[in-house]
Amino acid sequence: MAKEKIVKALTPYFFIAPAVMVLGFTCLYPVVKGFELSFYEWNLGTPMASRKFVGWENFAWAWHDPAIFNSIQVTLIFTTFAVTAELLLGLALAFLLEKGMKGIAIFRTVFIIPIMIAPVVVGLIWRYLFDANYGLINYFVQLLGFQPKIWLGTPGLALPAIIVTDIWQWTPFMFILFLAGLQSLPRDPVEAAEIDGATNWQVIRLVKLPLLAPVIWVAIILRVIDAFRSLETMFIMTFGGPVRETEVLSLNIYKTAFLSQRLGLASVTAVFLLAFILLLSVAFLLIARPALAKK
Amino acid sequence: MKVRFLNQTVITLLIIFLCLGITQGSAQASPYAKYAGTTIVVNFPAHAFYDAATKLIPEFTKETGIKVEVDKVEYMRMRDKQSLEMAKPKGDYDLVSYVCMWKTEYVSKGLLTPLAPFFTNPALADPNYDPQDFVPAYLAISGLVGGKKGYMPGPTAALYAVPFGSETSIFAYRKDIFDKHGLKPPKTYDEMLKIARTIRQKEPNMYGLTSRGEAGHQVSAAWLFHLTPFGGEVFDDNWEPAFHKEPSLNALKALLEIVKTGPPGISTFGVGSMIDAFLLGNAVMYLDATSICSMVRNPSISKVQGKVAYALHPKAVKHSMETGGFGIGIPANSTKKEAAFLFMQWMTSKQADIKIAKLGGMPNRMSTLRNPELQKEFPEFPAILENLKYANPDWRPIIPEWPEISMQYLGTAIHEVITGKKTPEKGMNDIREPVRKIMEKAGYYSWGK
C-alpha cells in the first residue's frame, strides 16, 4: 500500500522530468556558464582554454565603470516613461473601444500590426521618420513653423524619440490585454452600479479598474521585463548615441562583448541584468497567482 | 594456372592505373584542376567595391572549377562574426575580407594564416602575379603585420593579406556650385572651412562638407581623417596618449566647425548617410575614402553625376592621407586554404583588378591606376595617384587594443564634443586615464622609456 502511495506521488515528477531536463540544459546551463565567465578575463577570438581567472576583478571594474551606471540610468528612464505611457494609452483605448462599435475587428487588426513587426524593422521605419534631412517628422515640424531637429543626434532628444517608438510598438499589446480583461469582467457589479445611478466615470474608476487590477499588474510586469531587455530599436536607430544617451543595458553588454571583446566584463553586466529580471519575474508570479486562483 | 591468371590481371590493372595516374598528372598542368569542385566560403562586406568584385566570381568558377559561396555582412558587423568563426577549431570561412584596422588584433590572436607558405609553393603561386604592382601603401596597410610599431612595414613584418578594396582619402567637390560662386578647390583646411561658411551664406539649402559622426567608430574615424594633417597623433613614440595635445585638439576643432557648417544630422551619420548627403546634393564637399568616385557615376544612387571634381586632401600643417579599406586573408582554421589562396590570387591579379575597376570598384594596383585607357574613362585616377603620394600608413595606431580605444573611448569623447556636451579640451582629457589604463594593462609601459 505504502509503495503504491510513493509511486503515485512520484508519477507527476516522472512526467515533467523530460521538460525539466530540457529546460535545465537550455536555460540554466548558459546562465551558470555566464556567471562562471564573469570571474574570468577572456577576449573574443581567443581559445577558451586561454582565459584567465581574475576573481572579482571584473565586478570591481564594473563598479567603477561610468558607462554601466549610465546604462542602468538610461534603462530605468526608458522603462519608466515607455511603460507608463503605454499603460495609460492602452487603458484609455481599451475603455474607448470596449463597447462594440462598427468596424471594431478592423481596428483591432490595425492595432495589432506594430506588435507583429520585427523590432529591427520598427527601428528602421522610425529612424527614417526621425531622419534630420528627409524624415517625415521634420517635414511636419517645418509645416507647423518650427525649426527642424536632429532628433536622433541631439542630446536630450534621442531618448524621447526612442521612447515614442517603443510606445508606438507596444501600446497595442497593453490595449489588447486590457480589452480582453474588460470583456471578461463579470457583468453583475457593473449593472448594479449602473442601477444605483453611477456615472460612466464612476463605473470605470470604482468598479472596472479594481476588477481589472490583476490584468493591469500582469501587463505592467510583462512590459517592464521586456523593456529591460530591449536592444534592437536602439541598436538600429542610434547605436547608443548621442554619446551614450540611449545605450540601454543590453546594448552596453553587446558593446562590451563585441566591440571591447571583454567577455568576462560583459558577463558581469549580463548577470546583473538577469538578476533584476529574475526579481521582476518572481514579482510577476506572486501577483499573477491570485488572478489565476480567482478563475 | 588460376594463380597466374590472377597475377596477370593484377599486373594489367596496375599498369592501367599507373597510366591513368600519369595522364591525370599531365592534366594537372592547370594549377586549379586539383581543386575543381571544391566549394570555398568567403566573408565579404556590403560595399561598392565588393558589389563590383562579386560579379567576377562566375568567371572564376568557370575558369577554375572552384565554387565560391559569398556571405555578405554589413562591414562594421564583420568583426563580431569573424572573431567568433575564426576562433573555432574549424571555422566556416575560407577567406575573409577585413577592415585594415583589425589586422594586428587578428594576427595577435593567431586567427590569420601567413601567406609566405603559399607564395613559396610553385604549384600555387602565379609567376605573373606581380605583387610589386600593388599600391605600396595599400599592401602595407592591409597585409603587413609585425613590423615597426607592430602594424607598419619593417624588417620583422610578415604578409597576412593582400589589398582588396583598399583606399585612400580624396577631396571631392561640386564643380558646378564652386564655379557659380567663383570658388577654387581648397589647398588648406582654413580655405576649406571658409568655403563651407560661404556656402552656408550663399546657398540656402546647401551645406559645406559632409562627414561621418555617429558615436563610436564613425566619429572617431572622422576626427582621424584630420588628425595627421594637423600634425596630431593618438599616441606619442612612448605610447603615451597624445590625443589631448594641441595639434590633436586643432583637428577636433576643425571637425567641430565641419559639423556646424555641414548637413544637419552629422552626429547620426554612418558612412551611408555621410555619402548620401553628398550624392543627393545636400553637401557640396566630401573628404573621405576614394570609393565615392564610382558611386558618383551610379545613376541609381547619385544626383550629382558629371558635377563632381576631385582634388588633394587639403593640408593644415602637412599633407597626410588616410590609408585603409579592406584586405583579404585566409583564416588559420580554414580547411581549404589552397583553394582560398587560388581565389585570392585570381581576384587580386592585374587582369581582375582592371575588370573590377570597369565594374565600378576602385583599383588596388598601380598598373590599373596608370592605365591611360582607363584614365580616360575614369578621370579620378590621376587625382587618386596624386593623393597616394602622401598616403600615410601611420595615421592611426592599429595595435590590437585599437578597436576598443577607438570605438569605446575616442568615439564617445569626440561625440561629446560635437554634440556640445563638452569642450574639446575636456572631452579629450577625460579619457586620458582610462586609455592609459588599457595600454598599461596590455604591457606598453613595461619596457620603460
Q: Do A258 and B404 touch (CB under 8 A)?
A: no
Q: Please name the member of B86, B87, B268 whose beta carbon is closest to the beta carbon of A152.
A: B268
Q: Which has more confidence, B22 or A44?
A: A44
pLDDT at site A295: 47
Q: Which fold has domain B36-167+323-388?
A: D-Maltodextrin-Binding Protein; domain 2 (3.40.190)
**Which one-letter amino acid corresponds to residue B255?**
L
What pLDDT is recorded for position B22?
Answer: 46
CB proximity B86 to A under 8 Å: yes
pLDDT in tens, A117-128: 998 999 999 999
Residues of B in contact with A241 (CB under 8 A): 214-216, 267-268, 415
B282 vs A43, A46, A133: nearest CB: A133
User: Angle CA(B106)–CA(B109)–CA(B112) in degrees, nearest 5?
Assistant: 50
Coil, strand or helix: which one is B399?
Answer: coil
Taking CA atoms, what residue in A is nearest to B262?
Answer: A133
| Nearest Cα residue in chain B from A237 | B268
Mean pLDDT (chain B) is 92
- Of A30-39, B109-118, B326-335, least confident by mean pLDDT is A30-39
CA dihedral B324, B328, B333, B338 (to 10 degrees): -160
For B407, the closest of A131, A259, A262 (CB atoms) is A259
Beta strand B67-73 pairing with B283-289 = unpaired
Rounded to whole angstroms, what are the CA distances from B362 to A31, B45, B301, B353, B354? 47, 15, 17, 9, 9
Straight-line distance from the first to the last Cα atom of chain B, in angstroms, rounded to the nearest whole number: 88
Position A200 scores a pLDDT of 84
Contacts of residue B70, defined as CB under 8 A and 6 or more positions apart, other chains included, come to B42, B44, B54, B57
pLDDT reported for residue B54: 96
Q: Do A240 and B215 touch (CB under 8 A)?
A: yes
Distance CA(B32)–CA(B66), nearest Å, equals 8
B367 touches chain A (CB under 8 A): no
Q: Point out the residue among B111, B216, B267 whose CB comes nearest to the CB of A153.
A: B267
**Touching check for B412 and chain A: CB below 8 Å?**
yes
Q: What percent helix, strand, coil does chain B show, rounded to 5?
A: 50, 15, 35
B36 closest CA partner among B49, B27, B45: B27
Which residue in B395, B361, B393 sits closest to B378, CA to CA? B361
Q: Do B267 and A150 touch (CB under 8 A)?
A: yes
Contact residues for B311 (Cβ-Cβ < 8 A; gap 6+): B170, B171, B172, B173, B185, B186, B383
Q: Tell me if chain A has a CB within 8 Å of the CB of B214.
A: yes
CB contact under 8 A, A45 and B105: yes
More confident residue, B129 or A276: B129
Q: CA B185 to CA B206: how far, in whole Å?
A: 17
Chosen for mutation from B419, B422, B430 (greatest number of chain A CBs closer than 10 Å) is B419
In this predicted structure, the answer to whether residue B17 has a pLDDT above a threshold of 60 is no
Domain B169-321+397-442: assigned CATH number:
3.40.190.10
CA distance A149 to chain B (A): 8
Separation in Å, CA of B75 to nearest CA in chain A = 13
- How far off is chain A from B111, nearest CA to CA, in Å? 8
For B192-238, how does the pLDDT look when each residue is reduced to its tens digit (9 = 90+)?
999 999 999 999 889 999 999 999 999 999 999 999 999 999 999 99
What's residue A173's pLDDT?
92
Chain A contacts in chain B segment 316-355 (CB below 8 A):
none
Q: Identify the closest residue of chain A to B404 by CA–CA distance.
A: A260
Say if residues B144 and B153 touch (Cβ distance below 8 Å): yes
Contact A240 B109 (CB under 8 A): no
- Per-residue pLDDT at B23: 47
Kindly state the average pLDDT of the residues B126-148: 95
**Contact criterion met (CB < 8 Å) for B213 and A242:** no
pLDDT tens profile B401-436: 999 999 999 999 999 999 999 999 999 999 999 999
DSSP symbol at B410: I
Q: Does the ipTM exceed 0.90?
A: no
The shortest C-alpha distance from B273 to chain A (Å) reads 10
For position A190, what pLDDT does the model report?
Answer: 85
Closest partner residue to B264 among A150, A255, A260, by Cβ?
Answer: A150
Domain boundaries, chain A: 65-294
Residue A240 near residue B268 (C-beta atoms within 8 A)? no
CB of B198 within 8 Å of a chain A CB? The answer is no
Over residues B61-73, mean pLDDT: 96
Closest CA to B88 of B114, B108, B117, B110: B110
Q: Which residue has the higher pLDDT, B243 or A147?
A: B243
Question: DSSP string covering chain A, please?
Answer: -HHHHHHHHHHHHHHHHHHHHHHIIIIIHHHHHHHHHTTEE-BTTS-GGG-EE-TTHHHHHHHH-HHHHHHHHHHHHHHHHHHHHHHHHHHHHHHHTTS--TTHHHHHHHHHHHHHS-HHHHHHHHHHHT-TTT-HHHHHHHHTTPPP--TTTSTTTHHHHHHHHHHHHHHHHHHHHHHHHHHTS-HHHHHHHHHTT--HHHIIIIIIHHHHHHHHHHHHHHHHHHHHH--HHHHHHTTT-STTTT--HHHHHHIIIIIS-BHHHHHHHHHHHHHHHHHHHHHHHHHHHHHHHH-
Low-confidence stretches of chain A (pLDDT < 70) are 1, 100-101, 288-295
**In this complex, do A132 and B416 lie within 8 Å of one another by their Cβ atoms?**
no
pLDDT the model gives residue A5: 86
Q: For the ranges A30-39, A278-287, B163-172, B305-314, which has the lowest average pLDDT?
A: A278-287
Indicate if the pLDDT at residue B8 is higher than 70.
Answer: no
Q: Give the pLDDT confidence score for residue B4 in this predicted structure.
A: 58
Which of B109, B215, B265 is closest, CB to CB, to A133?
Answer: B265
Distance from CA of A29 to the nearest CA of B (A): 20
For A49, the closest chain B residue by CA position comes to: B87
- 3-state SS, A12-72, equals HHHHHHHHHHHHHHHHHHHHHHHHHHCCEECECCCCHHHCEECCCHHHHHHHHCHHHHHHH
Nearest to A243 among B80, B105, B421 (CB): B421
pLDDT of residue A4: 85
For the cut 80, the answer to whether the pLDDT of residue B388 exceeds it is: yes
3-state SS assignment for residue B161: strand
Contacts of A132 in chain B (CB under 8 A): 264-265, 268
Tell me which chain A residues have a C-beta less than 8 angstroms from the C-beta of B281.
Answer: none
Across the interface, whether the CB atoms of A241 and B214 are under 8 A apart is answered yes
Q: How many residues does chain B have?
A: 449
Label residue B203 exposed, middle or buried (CB < 10 Å: 0-12, 13-18, 19+). Answer: middle
A157 closest CA partner among B271, B409, B420: B420
Please judge whether B80 and A258 are an interchain contact, meaning their C-beta atoms are less than 8 angstroms apart.
yes
Q: What is the pLDDT of residue A276?
A: 87
Of A7 and B327, the structure prediction assigns the larger pLDDT to: B327
CB-CB neighbors (< 8 A) of B412 in chain A: 243-244
- Determine the distance in angstroms separating the CA of A43 from the nearest CA of chain B, rounded to an integer: 9
Where do we find the cell 557640396?
Answer: B284
CB-based contacts of B229, cutoff 8 Å, min separation 6 = B189, B251, B313, B314, B315, B316, B317, B318, B319, B320
What is chain B's alpha carbon radius of gyration, rounded to the nearest angstrom?
25
> Which cell is B24 given?
591525370
Looking at residue B19, its pLDDT comes to 45
Question: Residue ranges of the domains in chain B?
Answer: 36-167+323-388, 169-321+397-442
B266:A243 CB<8 A: no
State the distance between the two ends of chain A, measured CA to CA, in whole angstroms: 36
**Residue B345: phi, psi to the nearest 5?**
-65, -40
Is the pTM for the entire model greater than 0.90? Answer: no
Q: Does domain A65-294 have CATH number 3.10.100.10?
A: no
- Give the gap in angstroms from C-alpha B137 to the nearest C-alpha of chain A: 27
Peptide bond into A242 cis (omega under 30): yes
DSSP structure string for B328-387: EE-BTT-S-HHHHHHHHHHHTSHHHHHHHHHHTPPP-BHHHHH-HHHHHH-THHHHHHHH
